[in-house]
Structure 1
C-alpha cells in the first residue's frame, strides 16, 4: 500500500456476510493478535514493501489477506476486509494496461507479470464478477473531489499528532488522523443530490462521471453499512494549520448548494478552494 495515500472504505454489518464468513470475522474481532487501527496502515505498507523488495518482486501476495478494519457502533460489528490480494491484482492490471511494455518489463520480470495475469484470470473465472467488489478505494497524493460528496462537514473527526510534513510515515505518531464517517443511507442520498445538481446545471461534464462512479460503487453494499473517508498518510504531508484549515467536505457542499441556488460566484470560489488545495498536494509527488 502507498504511504502517502487516502482511502475510501465501506464497512458492512456482520449480518451482510455469508454465514461461514460471519464466524470468521466475529472470531477475528475477538482476537488479540489482529492489527489494531492505530498501526494497520503501517502493517499494510510494510507487507507490500517487503514483497516489492523481494527477488523477484511480488506485486501481488500469494494469498488473500485475513485482516480487516473494524468498527463497532453500540453492540453492532462492522467489517471492512483489507482484500489486499484483490486490490493488488486490480492495481497491477491498471498499471500493466497503462505502462509501455519495455518499462513494465524493467519494473516486473515478464514471467512474474504473466503469472500474475494468469492467476487473476483464473480467479475471475472461478469466483465471478461479484467477487471483484472491493471495500476499499485508494488514491495517492490527493483526495478526488468526488470522494467528499458522500459526507457532511459535521462528520469530520480530526486528531493532531506531532508530525513534520514529508517525514517518513512509519516514524510519525499513529494518532494523527483526519477521518469522516457516515451512514450508507446518508452517503447515497448526498451522492444522488450531487449528481442531480451537476446534471441540471452543468450537463455532461467529467465531474458527473466521477460522482456517478462513487454512487454506483456505494450501491453495491448493504444499505446499513458505514462509509469512511480516511486521509491516511496524507496527514503526514500537512502541518497542523493545514489540517485544521482543511474543510474540503464543507466547501464542496457549499459549492453544490451555490450552484443549485444560482450563487455562481460562491459555487466557483468554494470549488476552486478545494481544487487548488489538492492540486498543490499532488505537486509534492513530482518533488519526491
Structure 2
C-alpha cells in the first residue's frame, strides 16, 4: 500500500495515511519527498536549532533515523512517538555554489498527523493498542509547545482553526500563502504518488544519496518543480478532466507554493531503490502528459500502462512484509 503524509492520493493500487510516520515494519519500503529551505526562511529560534543539528552528515542522519525507529519498535510499552528530549534530525543540502538548505524532520508533528488520520480509519480498540492515548497526549503537548516557542504559533488547537489533524499541521505560518504551517516532508510506502513524479524533469540527473548505499534521489529547484506541477495539472484539466492525478497535483502546487522560492525539492527513493531502480517513471509520466496534449492517445496509453505495471508490482511487495 502507499501511505502519503500530505494526502496526495495513492500511487497505483495503494492507499494513504497523512502524517509521515510509517507503521512499524514497512520503513524499508518507504520513500520521502522533502523541501529544503534556506536558513533565512526560518524564525531565529528555529535557525539556531537547525544550525546546531547540522553537525551530522547525511549518512549519519539516515543511520540515526533507522536506529530511532528500531528503538521505538523495541519499547516494552507501545509508543510510536519520539522520546522526550529527542533532538529533531536535520538534513542539509548544499547547492553547486556551496549554499546550505535545511529540512528538519519534524517527526513528532508528522507522527501526530498520522495518529489523527489513523484514529478516523481504525476500530477504537485496535487504535488504542497501536496509539496509546497517554503517549499521544504527551507528544501532542510537546509539539504544540515547540510550535509556540519556535514559530510563535498558538498552542491552542482551536485557535484559527489550528488542528494538528489537518494535513498542514497546527498553527499559522504567516509567510505561507495559506497562512498555515507546512511540514517539509511527505512520506509514501510501497509506491511513489504520480503527483510527486510530475515535479521533476526526466532529463535531470539522478544521484546516489549516501556513499556505499543503494539509495537514489532526484532533486529540482522548488520554483521549477512548482511550474511543472502547475503545467501538468493544467494539461490534464484540459485533456483528461476526470483524472485523479489532478487532485494530487493541486495539493502539490499548494504545498510547494508555501515555501521559500529559493528552496529545493528532493525525492528520496529510500528503501524502494532496490525494487524500482532504474526508475523511468518520470519519463513515462511526462510522455503520458505530452501525448495527451498532442492528441496521441496510443502513446499515452502505452506510457500509462508502463506506469501501472511498474508500481503495481511494487505494491504487491507490501503483502510480503
Q: TM-score under structure 1 normalisation? A: 0.84
1:26 aligns with 2:51: yes
Measure how far apart 1:129 and its partner are. Answer: 3.6
1:254 aligned partner: 287
* Kept in 2: contact 1:64–1:83 (CA 8 A): no
User: Can you list the C-alpha shifts for 1:135-170, whole angstroms capped at 9, x where unaligned?
Assistant: 110011111111100001122314499xxxxxxxxx
User: Which among 98, 116, 123 is matched to residue 93 of structure 1?
Assistant: 116
Measure how far apart 1:117 and its partner are. Answer: 5.7
1:145 aligned partner: 194
2:92 aligned partner: 70
User: Which among 194, 197, 211 is matched to residue 232 of structure 2?
Assistant: 194
Aligned partner of residue 85 in structure 1, secondary structure: helix
2:296 aligned partner: 263
Quick one: distance in 2 between partners of 1:56 and 1:132? 31
* Kept in 2: contact 1:151–1:187 (CA 8 A): yes
Alpha carbons of structure 1 residues 128 and 63: separation in structure 2 relative to 1, 3 Å: farther
Measure how far apart 1:111 and its partner are. Answer: 4.0
User: Which among 126, 129, 134 is matched to residue 103 of structure 1?
Assistant: 126
1:53 aligned partner: 74
1:243 aligned partner: 277
Measure how far apart 1:58 and its partner are. Answer: 1.8
For structure 1, list consecutive stretches of 5 or more residues without a partner in the other structure. 162-172
Quick one: distance in 2 between partners of 1:275 and 1:119? 41
For structure 2, list consecutive stretches of 5 or more residues without a partner in the other structure. 1-20, 22-26, 148-152, 156-169, 174-179
Aligned partner of residue 213 in structure 1, secondary structure: helix
1:203 aligns with 2:241: yes
Matched pairs, number: 268
Aligned partner of residue 78 in structure 1, secondary structure: strand
Quick one: distance in 1 between partners of 2:140 and 2:73? 17
User: Can you list the C-alpha shifts for 1:22-67, whole angstroms capped at 9, x where unaligned?
Assistant: 34433543x3xx2x21243332132123123313222122346432
Measure how far apart 1:267 and its partner are. Answer: 1.1
1:9 aligns with 2:34: yes
